[in-house]
Amino acid sequence: MLDRRACDAQPAAVIRTTTSSPGTVLAFDFGTRWTGVAVGEHESGIAHPLTVIESRTAAGRLAAIAPLIGTWRPTHLVVGLPLTLSGGEHRLAGAVRRFGADLGERFALPVVFVDERLTSAEANDTLRASGRSGRAHKHLVHPVAAQHILHDYFGRRETQ
């Protein structure tokens, strides 16, 4: 299994803790076609993969997220920010930041960006270990990556 913690330290600007209130959190693994969603609770620090949204447009993604916001009533949202192994921003980082800004504006919730280096690789490892790898389960990678992003967020909050 790959260990992202072995990578160079992340830039301080990646995590912005804007809330410490208990409650539900939704996390997103943004993609230009598929966006994974996970849900978790502050109290337990446990995250679960929820769904994958298939959309190539911001409007389509936000429309699909709206019912999730209504159902889960999160206190805030966590978005994985793609960084290179050396800690610089990946070419998709600008699109991810726009996605986070759109989420905050549309749903009037705080948005926290978290380093997502190697979460897709970790998600693939998790799926492989559970016997759910390969093409037939490719759609599961994104929500499991979002789950890893949320687990990382909960772990970082404990150490702050």
Domain hosting residue 26, numbered range: 4-159
Per-run averaged pLDDT (10 residues), the chain, 160 residues: 34 39 89 93 91 95 97 96 78 92 97 79 59 61 87 69
- pLDDT score recorded for residue 138: 63
Query: Can you give the pLDDT at residue 144?
Result: 85
91 phi and psi angles, rounded to 5 deg? -60, -25
Residue 75's CB is within 10 A of a number of other CB atoms, namely: 17
Domain with residue 20: its CATH number is: 3.30.420.140
Report the alpha-carbon distance of residue 15 to residue 4 in Å, rounded.
Answer: 15
- Name the residue with tokens 């690789």: 121
The alpha carbon of 144 is separated from its chain's Cα centroid by a whole number of angstroms, namely: 9
Distances (CA, A) of 66 to 44, 61, 98, 104: 25, 9, 17, 12
β pairing state of 76-81 and 111-115: parallel
CA pair distance 98, 16, nearest whole angstrom:
16
Q: What is this structure's pTM?
A: 0.78
Residue listed under structure tokens 């909050």: 157
Q: How many domains are contained in the chain?
A: 1
pLDDT at 129: 64
